[in-house]
Amino acid sequence: MAKKSAKTPARPALQLGHRVRAPSSPETAKLDRVPNPHADTDYLVRFVAPEFTTLCPITGQPDFAHLVIDYAPGQWLVESKSLKLYLGSFRNHGGFHEACTLDIGKRVAKEIKPKWLRIGGYWYPRGGMPIDVFWQTGKLPGGLWVPDQGVAPYRARG
pLDDT tens over the chain, length 158 residues: 555 555 555 556 876 666 778 888 999 999 999 999 999 999 999 999 999 999 999 999 999 999 999 999 999 999 999 999 999 999 999 999 999 999 999 999 999 999 999 999 999 998 888 999 999 999 999 999 999 999 988 877 65
Q: Which of 32, 40, 42, 63 is catalytic?
A: 63
Q: What's the sign of the alpha-carbon dihedral 131, 99, 104, 142?
A: positive
- 100 part of the active site: no
CATH 3.30.1130.10 fits 33-138, yes or no: yes
Cα-Cα-Cα-Cα dihedral of 82, 112, 28, 120, to 10°? -80
- 56 part of the active site: yes
Max intra-chain CA distance, the chain: 80
Q: Which of 42, 56, 103, 132 is catalytic?
A: 56
Residues 92, 56: Cα–Cα separation, whole Å: 10
